[in-house]
Structure formats: C-alpha cells, structure tokens
Structure 1
Amino acid sequence: MSGGGSGEGPKKCGLTELLVFIAAIISGTICSIMSKNMMSLHAEGITGEIELFDKPMFQTFGMFLGMLFGLVMHFLVLLFKIPFPGYIHSGAASTTDPENGRVVSEKTGLIQNSKQNVDDAPLKVPTWMYFFLAIPALFDLGATALCMMGLRYIDVSIYQLLRGSGIIFVAIMKQNVLGDKLHNFQWVGVIWNVVSVFMVGSTAILSGGKDADDGASAEGSNALLGVSLVMLGAFVQSMQFVFEEKVLTMDIPAPPLLLIGMEGFWGTLFCLVVIYPLVYYLPGDDHGSYEDPFNTWYMIANSTTIQVSFMIYFSSIFFYNFFAVLVTFLLNSVWHAILDNFRPITVWVTDLVIFYYFAPSLGEEWTVWSWIQVGGMGILLYGTAIYNAPNTGSISLEGQWYALGLNFSKEYEAVREEEANQEMDDEFQARMLSTRNMSSFRGEIVASLR
C-alpha cells in the first residue's frame, strides 16, 4: 500500500500484484546470480592468455541492451491491442489511437470516455516524453555501474541485502519529493529495514577479514569499499525508483513498456558514446585500460560458456526490469525498493544450494557470520510486514509483545476507513459515468429518429 497522502488512495497488494512481485523475485534472483558468476568465468584474452572475465561495464551495457527489448513489446502491444497494465485500447473503457494507445488508469479512462463529446482527441505519448526518459536511464546507469564495481569485493547475497538500503532513501524522497506522506508505522518498518542493512553490512566486513594472517586488512578494506559502492549505488537507484513512479502517474503518463524500452535505448546509447570510451582510456588492469571493450568482445567470441551465461543474464535482466516496473505501476516506488530487499533471501538460498550440491566455486558457503545474515533477513521480513499493515499477511503493531510497546491502532483504523471510502467513491463514480454514458446513448438514438 502507499502512504497516506496519495491522491489515488491506498494501493493494496492483491493476487495480481503478488504474482508480479514473485515473478520479479525469481527473475531478479537469476539475474543477480548470473551477474556474480559471470565475473568468475575465464576465457582466452586478446593476448592469447587465459583471463578472468571481470567486466562490470559490459554487464551494465548488457542490462540496457536487455531493457531495449521493452520497446519491441511496447509497439507490439499497441499494434495488436494486447491487454496490458497501463494501456487502454479502442473498444475498452476509452477510445485509443492505435498508434499511441491510452496510458491511463481504468477510472481515468472512464472519465475521459464520458468527455468524448467535448474532446475527441485521444491522449498520446508526447514527443518530449521519449527524451524525458533519458533521466531515469542516467540514474540506472550510475547505480548499476556503482553496484557492479562493488560486487567485485562482496558476496552476491550481501550485495543484494545492501541494495535494500534503497528503501530508506525511497521513503524519504517519496514523502518529500512526491508528497506522499508515510504513516508512522510505515516509518517503523523502514527503520527495521535500516537495522537489517547495517547487520548485513557488518557481515561483509567481518567475513572479509576472517583470515588475519592472509591479508585480512586488505580483504576487510576491499569489503568496506564494496559496501560503500553498493550503498552509493542504492541511493542513486532510489532516485530512479521515485522518478519512475512520478513518470508513471503523470497526467499523461509513460506506459510501463515504453519506460523500460526508452531507459534501455538511452542507457545503451550512453554506454556506447560515453561510458565505454571513458573506461577504455582510463588506466587500469585490463591491458592498460579500466575495461577494454575489444578484449571483452574477444573473450566472448572465444568462450561458449560466457556466451550462454550472457544470454541467460540478458533474458533475466529484461524480465526483472519488466516485472519491477510493473510493481511500481501497480503499487508504488517503496514496494519496488521492498522487492530489492526480498531478493537476497532467494539469492542466498540458491547460492548455498549451488555451493553444497552443484559447483562450490560458483556458490557461497556457510560461515560463522552467516548467522548474522540470517538475523538480518529475519528483521528484513519483520520490517516489511510492518510496512504492509494492515493488509493480509502483515504485522500490525497494537501493543503486542513483538510490537515493543508500540500501538498504532488508530492509524490502522484510519487506513481501513480511507480504503473503504475510496472503494465507495470508485463505485459511485463508475455508476455515475455508466448512467451518463447510457443517457448520452439514448439521446443519440432519439435524435436520430427525429
């Protein structure tokens, strides 16, 4: 659900939203694991020697390339009038231009439909929107590049949990930028998420320095660098989430698939024109460059394993971004941040299974510090359940022992009353619009008979 200040009323996590959320977790899990494992693959480099395929900028480029497929799906939805969230075609609740489609809510569509006799021009995606969507692409580019660099120094499950710190920044910006005020109990949920992030961050640093006689200080320093980079990436990513929610809820909003596709287009363009030339000329360990694109291409061409891994990564990154944007569209940006908080659970479990049952070199082993990680995930689930109250499956803090003396009964009652009023308002408006449309239809018949 959203905060208390949303103009559209609270949004609840129903069955459809839950299925989309689960699909995002599954695709995100595959994406995260493949991202980490690709960095541990080896192939013949441009000099003929076997090298480590440690290419964070290439993975960033691959992410945008995968998102670019959203443009194809956007135009297919418009061309064949495929039912899809965020699109209302002709013959539905409102008239649609098949070239552009309506990108309004069902309720807004009914209202627009009732005004057709006054204004027959359909809502279109304006040209400036295609350029405006370069902004979230820049946010995504910066966040992904920072996180990919941080992932070099920490385990993938820790990386995912640290990215969960984004909920802190999203909640602050959602209230102060979007004007969607959060309830006090939701802030309690956010605070518990902060606690989980600090617990997992300490796990990364402690496990990085576990062997004091074998370069512990260097490993601990690298882990701290990794944690800092990922946290900074989470901050930039939170700006992207809030910006995307704003774009999806404007008077003339961007359709979800167009949002994904244009972010992919601009991100791919920025990578080719700005990022790759920059990292090629910056000094580093990749044949004198921070990352040599020519060496990257040579290694891919000479390794079937890298090719297959990239195709899996390419597909999973598209589907993750596809479902994640739908989470923002169907719910809000805080739920998008919560999604990133849930992914570590499946990532970590999958990594443990890979380590003990398939390939230890590609998985993650259980250590003494893993108990702290388990505790962090437990607190993460607890905080998320508090944030989602008073919906089904959530935790309401009403003076119970696990509420730690907190009682938000009055706030929960206010939320329920707001939801009930919103449902009554929607039903009333739907009946009024239906009556008006029927009256207009009858008037047209009478006029034609005269």
Structure 2
Amino acid sequence: MSNLANVHTCGLAEIILFILAILFGTGCSICSKTMMSLVGTNGTFEEDGSPHMESFQKPLFQTFGMFIGMLFGLAMHWMVLAFRIPFPGYDFGDAEEDDAEMGPTETTALKPKSTSSTDQDVPSAQIPTWMYFFLAIPAIFDLAATALCMMGLQYLDVSIYQMLRGSGIIFVALMKQHVLKEHLQTFHWVGVFWNVTSVVIVGATALLASGGEMEGGSTGNVSSSETFLGVCLMMAGAFVQALQFVFEEHVMKMDVPAPPLLLIGMEGFWGTVLSILVMYPLGYWLPGSDHGSYEDPFNTWKMFMNSRNIQVAFVIYFFTIFFYNLLAVLVTFMLSSVWHAILDNFRPITVWGTDLFIFYHISPAFGEMWTQYSYLQIFGMGVLVYGTAVYNAPNAGSVLLEGQWYSFGIDCSKEYEAIRREQEEAGEDAMWEAKQQEFKVRKISSFMESPRVSVHTQALRGLGAQHN
C-alpha cells in the first residue's frame, strides 16, 4: 500500500491519551518551575546561628530525576509480562497454549508489527540482547538535547527559548518524511506551519510582556555574538530532540519492536548511567555560580536531605515526569512522532493557563498575572488548535481544507478522498486476514463430531447407522 495509508486514525482512545499527556506534561512543567523557586538549607549555619538558606536552582538534578522516574517503566514492563496485563505494544492473545502453560515471556508477549497474511505463521520474535544496548541511543539524544538547550538558555530570553524549541516540529516532519520514508501530505505541512506560527505568537507575546529584556535584566551583558551562539545551541538542541522522537517511533515499529514500557525504562536506565558518569562530572568541573561549579551535586544532595519542601516537590515531580514521558511515548506509538512534537507545542499554553489560575486563585507568589498581551496569547492558542485540527484530517473532529474561507484557498479534497479509499481497502484487508486466522486455528472439521452438531448432520448420521 502507498504512503497515503500512513495517516493515523485519531479515535477516542487517542484523544484521551493526548489529553492525559497534556495534563501530566503541564503538571511536570509546573513542578519543575516550582522547584526552581524553592529555597532550602544545606545543613550549614550563618554567624547568628540561623540555617543558611539558598535557592534550589538545580537543572541537572531535575534532568537526573527525570531519568530516575523513567526507570519505573522497567518495573511496569515486567509487571505487564508477569500478570499478562493488557497494554499498548503487548499482545498476549495469539500465544500458543504451550507458551501459556509455561507463563508469559517476552517471546509470547512481544509481536512484530507486520500483520500481512504471509507473516501470520512466523513465531513471535524474542527481544535480542543487543536491543537493550540499542535503546541507549534515545537516552543519549535526550541528554544531549537537554544539555544543548540548557547552554543556549543562558544567552536567550525564555520566550525565545520556547519559540526555538517549538520549531523542532519542522525537523520531526522532515525526518519523518526523509528518514522514516512516510510521505506527509500537503495538509500535514499546513498543520505543521500553523503549529510553528502559534509558537511564534506565544513566544512574541512573552517577549512583549517582558519589555523585550532578558531574564534578570541582563540584556546589556549579552553580546550579539553570544545571542547568536544561544540561537545555534537551541536549534541544535531542537534538532537532536527531533532525532529522539523519530528514533523512538522507528524502534517501536521495527520487525522486532521495543514496546513503550521497555523503551521508557531502558531510556531511564541509560540516562541515569550517563548522568552519573558524564553529566554530573561535567557539571561539577565546569565553572559556575553553584559554589564554584555549574552545579554542585554534593550541595544538591545536602539541600535535598535537609529540606522537606524540596523532598515533597521532587516526589510529585518524579511521578508527573514519569507519566508524562510514558504518555508521550504512547502518543508516538499510537499516532506518530509529529504528534509528539505537537504535544510539546501545547505545553507552553497549558502551563500559561495554569499559571494564571495559580496566581489569581491559589497564591500570587507563584504563577503569572494577566497582561495586555494575554489576548494575543489566547489567539496563539486558537492558532495551535486550528493547526492541530488541520494535521489530524480526515479523522473525526478535524478541519478539512477544501477551499473554504478558513482554509485560505487551499484545497486538499483529492488527498482526503485518496486516504479514505485506502483506509477502506485496509479495513477490508484486515477483515479478510482475520477470517484467514479463524480458519487456521480450527483443528476439527465441522463434519466431525463436536459439541455443536446441527439437526441435519445428526439425521444424516442416523441414515448411515447400522440398525438391529
């Protein structure tokens, strides 16, 4: 079948999954921001005997905590195998009776993605040992992208930072077409364009609201060459992040696929190892404002052990970041890597809305107040929803570009029709393959004795019987 069939159906389950990912993504962003504003003690005291207090601005610790949280995916992976829990990426329904008697294993639970009739007799492939090392690659991408973005952030305003991160959807779309060889239609690119436009609007709004100044009023301390360096670092980080998204989609759709929980867990394992062996040593030896280091892990540990608020905030962050990463990978698994990028573009807007609620209804010490530019930010949210609906076509709830005024003269009717035809053909093929499987699992002829024998069959047998 042609690449037109690569349009993923966005049904109720996918919509619920996407909404949950937005909720947990917003939660982990708020927790991350809150932890940065907390103060704590490292166990030392001032001259007057009071505890020495300092700000808990530890970006490397949060990155390390993210990988620790993702490690929980391995425990869930083993639980799914042990208790045969239904979960996306695992298939226990076609296991042979002998395998069922021996108990669930990765051999019986993990199925290749191919569902063609020629592959139905091929036994489930066991995940080879090299796959566990192969899954270190997305962890390297994640760590490198985070490091590049952190380095670029010190030269850029947060609004510019968010705009440049949002542009990563372009890299994802390009690699999806040229690396994964899945052709994106015209309306896909239109949806990507409006997503990028929404990020620019939201970023420009934040820049206008801050008066065009850098965080902390440091505009005068940053030269044009340093700003250019920051932009280059951010674009490099967005590119590496796109590599991660596309790689995750590829590894979950190989002939021997890595299920989402195993992918999350091994990414967390390798990320933890790399954080201990690479990230933290570099952070400790690089000069900075954290007791002479970019980030002092020994001071971080002392503050964590001596501050109850930091411990509580980290526990909440631990669970939100795990579920966000899990749901984001499931979005990639059930939809595509472009949808993962769209998910990330939603986060600035949902975080902003949550900040408004916190500021006006919980505590003005946290959150963000309404400004004269907030209306423009709402407009940016509308553009984002429009672009996502355009990309989602021709599924339910999407916007079809058929020459209407809101499609700005763009007509993709032929593409939609071709996709509908191929989806109908795919549905017919799936029904036929299901019938073939039904015939293959039959082991007794319908003419042989079985618990369900028709009246006519019984009568025929009676005619052939010997009578005394």
TM-score scaled by length of structure 2 = 0.84
Alignment check: 8 A CA contact 1:17 1:327 kept = yes
Q: CA deviation at 1:111?
A: 6.6
Q: CA deviation at 1:129?
A: 0.3
Cα distance in structure 2, aligned partners of 1:64 and 1:357: 33
Deviations 1:4-49 (A, max 9, x none): 727x743201111111111111111100111111111111136543
Corresponding residue for residue 3 of structure 2:
5
Which secondary structure does the structure 1 equivalent of 2:365 belong to?
A: helix
2:86 aligned with 1:86: no
Match of 1:317 among 318, 321, 335: 321
Alignment check: 8 A CA contact 1:64 1:263 kept = yes
- 1:50-69 to structure 2, matched below 5 A, reads 50-69=53-72
Alignment check: 8 A CA contact 2:69 2:321 kept = yes
**Larger deviation: 189-198 or 55-64?**
189-198
Cα distance in structure 2, aligned partners of 1:12 and 1:430: 20
Q: CA deviation at 1:341?
A: 1.8
**Larger deviation: 420-429 or 60-69?**
420-429
Cα distance in structure 2, aligned partners of 1:386 and 1:398: 11
Q: CA deviation at 1:141?
A: 1.2
Corresponding residue for residue 98 of structure 1:
104
Instruction: Report the AA paired with residue 104 of structure 1.
Output: K
Match of 1:191 among 166, 179, 193: 193
Alignment check: 8 A CA contact 1:137 1:263 kept = yes
2:31 aligned with 1:31: no
2:84 aligned with 1:77: no
TM-score scaled by length of structure 1 = 0.88
Q: CA deviation at 1:215?
A: 4.0
2:244 aligned with 1:246: no
Alignment check: 8 A CA contact 2:157 2:213 kept = no
Deviations 1:288-344 (A, max 9, x none): 100000110111112111111010000001001111111111111111111112223
Q: CA deviation at 1:207?
A: 3.3
Cα distance in structure 2, aligned partners of 1:10 and 1:435: 30
State the percentage of identical aligned residues. 58
2:127 aligned with 1:129: no
How many correspondences in the alignment? 433
Deviations 1:364-407 (A, max 9, x none): 12223333322222211111111111111111111111111111
Alignment check: 8 A CA contact 1:9 1:419 kept = no
Corresponding residue for residue 366 of structure 1:
370
Instruction: Report the AA paired with residue 138 of structure 1.
Output: I
Match of 2:380 among 352, 355, 376: 376
- 1:247-266 to structure 2, matched below 5 A, reads 247-266=251-270
Alignment check: 8 A CA contact 2:136 2:266 kept = yes
- 1:156-171 to structure 2, matched below 5 A, reads 163-171=165-173
Cα distance in structure 2, aligned partners of 1:211 and 1:278: 30
Corresponding residue for residue 307 of structure 1:
311
Alignment check: 8 A CA contact 2:252 2:259 kept = yes
Cα distance in structure 2, aligned partners of 1:219 and 1:17: 47
Q: Which runs of 5+ in 1 are unaligned?
A: none
Say which one has the larger Rg: 2
Alignment check: 8 A CA contact 1:398 1:409 kept = yes
Instruction: Report the AA paired with residue 134 of structure 1.
Output: A
Q: CA deviation at 1:87?
A: 0.9
Which secondary structure does the structure 2 equivalent of 1:124 belong to?
A: coil
Cα distance in structure 2, aligned partners of 1:159 and 1:344: 11
Corresponding residue for residue 456 of structure 2:
none
How big is the alpha-carbon RMSD for the aligned residues of Structure 1 and Structure 2? 2.9
Cα distance in structure 2, aligned partners of 1:216 and 1:156: 12
Instruction: Report the AA paired with residue 5 of structure 1.
Output: N
